[in-house]
Amino acid sequence: MDVAVVTGAAGLVGQASVRLFADQGLIVVGVDNDLRSRFFGPEASTRWAREALEAEVPGYRHVDADVRDRAAMERLFAEYGADIRVVVHAAAQPSHDWAAQDPYTDFDVNARATLVLLECTRRFAPQAVFIYTSTNKVYGDAPNRLPLVELETRWEVEEGHPYYAHGIDESMSIDRTTHSLFGASKSAADLLVQEYGRYFGLKTGCFRGGCLTGPAHSGARLHGFLAYLVRCALTGDEYTIYGYKGKQVRDNIHARDLADMFWHFTQSPRPGEVYNVGGSRHSHCSMREAIALCEGLTGRRLRTVYTDQHRIGDHIWWVSDVRRFRAHYPGWTYRYDLPGIMQEIVDGLRARL
């Protein structure tokens, strides 16, 4: 019996991973206790997604447990032991702003829980692949020191700069920069995952995501760029633009494309490896451009309010260079572009709302 353990199973990346690994023939055990509703309110609850997984994924088992609960995680890992082939750790507290409200919980969920899961893997399933859903926020606001040029609808890195053609690669330093507390807790976990690969030889990999998105995202004001944008357009709620004239640039990757990356890594793991993952130049936009696309697809005018105060540690321009991953796994490619992603989000939210 080959088992995949997926934490944050009812979240965006967790759902995609559950479905993909189940499609590949693994028995999937999902861990999720809907902490997202505590972080962001009932409208961000992932209960609907859990119910869909239980109804639609053959053999799926859901464990309603907290990843910070060491005893519960040890019981789960001891139950399946060497049958565990892969651990996809997608559970997280994902918001800059929320982290500053409760640093203890943020660090516990993002860093200490990762240590719990790494130790469980080392003790009970040392041959399993361990995949960590990290973030580009480990680089803090270092990208904001790039030579940026203001264009009509976006900021852009200066043409001719090494990052212009393909985006930011893994050589960017994570030091001497403001991360936000969220970025710091995720950086701590990222380093732990690397160390368990290099020091203990576990088959670990860190995937430093840009904007992870898709129709399964339970978008909320504090987290979920495109999903929350579409939600506001459909409900008429006001959308706040935080700083940088609304021209800040993000690359966007569909959760299914990211889960497919996980699958390729699982087939031939490279212990302790780190990858920047996102939409790259293939799928990126500024906030202004995303608003225009959203309004076109929904046929609704988005109500916006602007504040000059940007979020601490936020990026003005981020585009991921995914060439390192593609060099290691040439069989992987994108299935979704930005218009396709946005259309799926619109269709999915219309059906749910």
Residue 113 Rama label (left phi>0; alpha psi -120 to 50; beta): alpha
Q: Report whether pLDDT(270) > 80.
A: yes
> Is the model's pLDDT at 222 over the cut of 70?
no
| Structural domains in the chain plus CATH codes | 3-352 (3.40.50.720)
**What tokens were used for 156?**
């852009």
Is the confidence at residue 223, as pLDDT, over 90? no
Q: Of 214, 239, 210, nearest to 227 (Cα)?
A: 214
Cross-strand partners of 135: 209
- b or e along 202-216 (b: 16 or more beta carbons within 10 Å of the residue's beta carbon)? bbbbbbbbbbbbbbb
Task: Give the model confidence (pLDDT) of 178-201 as tens digits.
Answer: 999 999 999 999 999 999 999 999
d(CA 171, CA 26): 35
Q: Which of 336, 188, 327, 187 has the alpha carbon at shortest distance from 253? A: 336
Q: Which tops the pLDDT comparison, 1 or 163?
A: 163
Going by C-alpha positions, the residue among 320, 319, 321, 315 that lies closest to residue 144 is: 315
In this structure, are strands 284-286 and 249-254 parallel, antiparallel, or unpaired?
Answer: antiparallel
| Model pLDDT for residues 278-295, shown as the tens digit of each residue | 999 999 999 999 999 999
pLDDT at 349 over 90: no
Residue range 305-315: mean pLDDT, rounded: 88
Q: Which residue has the tokens 């990346």?
A: 13
Average pLDDT, the chain: 95
Q: If pLDDT is split at 50, 70 and 90, which confidence band does 352 have?
A: confident
pTM for this predicted structure: 0.96
Place of tokens 């606001």: 141
Split at pLDDT 50, 70, 90, the class of 76 is: very high
Cα–Cα distance, 9 to 129 (Å, whole number): 17
Is residue 209 pLDDT above 70, yes or no? yes
Tokens of 263: 């699958």
What is the model's pLDDT at position 278? 97
Residue 171: burial class (beta carbons within 10 Å; 0-12, 13-18, 19+): exposed
pLDDT in tens, 110-141: 999 999 999 999 999 999 999 999 999 999 99
Contact in structure between 315 and 247 (CB atoms under 8 Å): no
The pLDDT score that the predictor gives to residue 139 is 97
